[in-house]
Chains A and B, each alone.
Chain A
Amino acid sequence: MTDLAHLKDQYDLAVVGAGPAGLAAATLGARFGLTTVLFDEQATPGGQIYRAVTETPLRERALLGEDYWQGAKLADGFIKGSAQYVPGATVWSISHDREIGVSAGGKARLLTARHVILATGALERPFPITGWTLPGVMTCGAAQILLKSSGLGPDGKVVLAGTGPLLWLLAAQYRRAGVRIEAMLETTPRRNWLAALPYLPKFLQSRYAAKGRALLREVKASTRIERGVGAVAARGDGRLREVAYRVGRGREIRLEADALLLHQGVVPNINLASAIGCKHHWDETQLCFTPEIDEWGRSSIPGVSIAGDGGGIAGAEAATESGRLAALDAAWQLGKIDDFARDRHAGPYREALAAALYGRRFLDLLYRPAVRFRHPAGDTLVCRCEEVTAEQVLDAVKGGAVGPNQLKAFLRCGMGPCQGRLCGLTVTELIAKARKVAPDEIGYYRLRPPVKPITVAELASIPQSDAARKAVVRG
């Protein structure tokens, strides 16, 4: 059990998240002599993309693929370094002065850092279809996590649905592991090709092309793929029984199914950055809110940097380099290195970052999810936690809720424990469409700490100073 009591009251650098960006940042920060601490919710390093890389039961390298095993090097470098590692810990608050609230083992405490790097990564875009809350329906990411960390594959009839590289990667991994897939329902809108085509030449020259081609070939050879799927629904009585879909506007086709795995891209996990007060803007290509950061990852809050997918979706290799750049900048800001050393070290990282970004725009545009899968209607659930439907959201807008925060006064939409992670983007887009206003103008839920629920007991366990006790004013 992680014990927070042994942590220092102050660190030079605190990193949140042990994915590629966080691992790279913490390792480098410590190498430059910064007292560094890395907090992560999981029990072992790797984040989501390199989940369980130090302990996966799937040892045969070809199954998960070489890209995954890159994570082992990063994790190894980190563990051998001098950063303090705090697994099983949830950071639920960071103030403007970089006071960090963290919980582990049922206890909470506060500590400060002179610089913070948020590497909270990405989460899957909501995929609000009929029946998406049925047991048996989960994200492709979830299925992949079960595969990596427990060597588990779905039993019975498996259907994949959505758009994006992860769909293909999972299908390939399942094929290698002997998991049969009934069908892959590919929802990429055909018109995306038009927008993506101008960027195809660059993509073909990039590292992603060969990998992508190989993956597509492997999956197409063994899996039934339905393209141009325009509607997907999950049906069942208390659990998934069948998946219904249409190709374009064709007739409804039903498949018996035990597992439906959904994916339509990933978006930055912005709850912590948002709760701190970092400025965000709407990215119309990636259809999500992204933090405003500069080329060092500095956010709009001094002393708080953002690295990795949490600062904008760009993949694991880009995340690694952006983590290093943020750590470099932190070391410079804290006076450990001068301008010259900083820029000298930055050179190779920037080159590697540029190479990692090269060719990605094609994928961003090709796999941009269709409107019909982002704008649910009727009694499709928008807010899973509080069971609020699309129709209820739209009625509330008609009733005067002009944005996501006013919505909270009419409905409990967004007020459950997930803090909008699974409904926020849908809500913003639905309100934007209803009011004929850009999503950037509509904004997002006003997020505050704690960014994850903490118990009354945990909160009460925060050590007090005498000054704080005396400062209580009666209301």
Chain B
Amino acid sequence: MAPDVIIIGGGLHGCSAALHLARRGATVLVLEKDYVGRHASGVNAGGVRRLGRDLAEIPLSVASMELWHRIGDLVDDDCGFEGHGHLKIAESEAELETLKARVAAVRALGFTHEALVDRRQLRELLPAVADHCTGGIWCEGDGAAQPYRTTLAFRRAAERAGAVVSEGVHVTGLRRENARWQVATADGGAHLAAAVVNCAGAWADRLAAALGEPVPLIPSAFMLMISDRRAPFIKPVVGATSRPLSFKQFANGTVMIGGGYKGALDRETNWTELDFRGLAQSAQTVADLFPVMRSAQIVRAWAGIEARMPDDIPVIGPSSTEAGVFHAFGFSGHGFQLGPISGAIIAELVTTGRTNLPIEPFRITRF
């Protein structure tokens, strides 16, 4: 029996789409070329934030956050989610002005999750922060979760709802067969379905190109580092204003350091290579903002393979060239928090043809 929907890509977005579709009664098959959570979904910084998002993403992010706060109900696993808040730090008066303008812009849209904090309030929230920091944006209720565990939880919930997940299956082609789609795989298989969802992450551009709607996707290897165990000294997740930084301490005391620095990668072999000059700049940022971290040991560093779009927001929506095909990819390093909602949006689109959330800015034709 051919499934109703084939989802290409078993990352968080693919598994989330599988779950929401299965709960709506669709028969779903997920085809994953490596294993579930192998790439960006399983190895990212785990940030669950509304703070600092592109204005277009905010409605989706706010809706997704509601799902995060009930994640146990959604996937029967708390995913390690902890909501100790997010802080974006200003290191000068000029940066604080930028942040002030940002908060005003967000409030003008009717959203109140971002609040400006001054020097004193910053130090109440982050006692260990360096003296030169002038304030920041505070977002209560934001937090972090465990990426691989979360992806696996969505997978399992989808399977309990009847979805089938096949790993080690590499999709090589897509062809329309009358009213249905035929998905060809490297093992010689051919799978038919009424609808196809492209959640292929850093490889999604190939499918898009095959559909006649090429996109300028940039495969990117975002680098992360983790420290040894430190006595607890910071609760919220921290970012900076004009330097890339994502900084959080886990319950076990280890500190994760991320940001925008990229390594090199090879999409064919899944190989990533770290760029230590970039990591050195990351380390410098950490040392500048939290001097007590200078003696922390970096125990491990890694980079996942992620898809970046030139405007740093994802592609979400129906195909512009073919009926029955839908896209959810290109989350540009901040898709983890959007995982719960992206699947819901896709499920709505596939089954009803429309969605309540404003996804116009994410249309595939915008490039």
Contact = CB atoms under 8 A, between A and B. Distances in A.
* Physical contact A–B (CB less than 8 Å): yes
Interface of A: 93, 95-96, 99, 101, 108, 110, 277, 400, 402, 406, 409-410, 412, 415-417, 419, 448-450, 453-457, 459-462, 464-465, 468-469, 471-475
Contact of A475 (B148, B222, B226, B294): B222
B293 A448 contact: no
A108 B280 CA distance: 10
Contacts, number: 112
Interface string B144-158: 001011001000000
Contacts of B152: 400, 409
Contacts of A410: 149
Given A93-B276, A456-B294, A472 B42 contact: no
By CB atoms of chain A within 10 A, which of B42, B274, B334 has the most?
Answer: B274
Contacts of B146: 409
Contact of A449 (B37, B243, B274, B296): B274
14 contacts: A409-B149, A417-B299, A448-B274, A448-B302, A449-B276, A450-B301, A453-B299, A457-B295, A459-B279, A459-B283, A460-B284, A468-B277, A474-B244, A475-B333
Contacts of B302: 448
Given A96-B273, A455-B296, A455-B297, A417 B280 contact: no
A415 B298 contact: no
B294 A412 contact: no
B366 interface: no
B278 interface: yes
Chain B contact surface mostly: mixed
A472 B278 contact: yes
Interface of B: 35, 37, 42, 146, 148-149, 152, 222, 226-228, 243-244, 246, 252, 258-262, 271, 273-274, 276-284, 286-287, 293-302, 332-334
Contacts of B299: 415-417, 419, 453
B276 A412 contact: no
B125 to A, nearest CB: 22
B294 A459 contact: no
Contacts of A473: 244, 260-262
Contacts of A475: 222, 244, 246, 258-260, 332-334
Chain A contact surface mostly: loop
A96 B274 CA distance: 10
B298 A450 contact: yes
Contact of A419 (B262, B280, B300): B300
By CB atoms of chain A within 10 A, which of B283, B296, B332 has the most?
Answer: B283
A457 B246 CA distance: 18
A456 B227 CA distance: 9
B250 to A, nearest CB: 10
A469 B284 CA distance: 12
Contacts of A468: 277-278, 281
Contacts of A455: 294-298
By CB atoms of chain A within 10 A, which of B228, B276, B286, B299 has the most?
Answer: B276
Given A95-B274, A462-B276, A473-B244, 14 more contacts: A95-B273, A110-B277, A416-B299, A448-B301, A455-B296, A456-B294, A456-B298, A460-B284, A464-B277, A468-B277, A468-B281, A473-B260, A474-B244, A475-B260
A460 B278 contact: no
A92 B32 CA distance: 33
Given A415-B299, A457-B295, A472 B149 contact: no
Contacts of A108: 280
A389 B333 CA distance: 35
Given A448-B302, A472-B260, A456 B277 contact: no
Contacts of B228: 417, 453
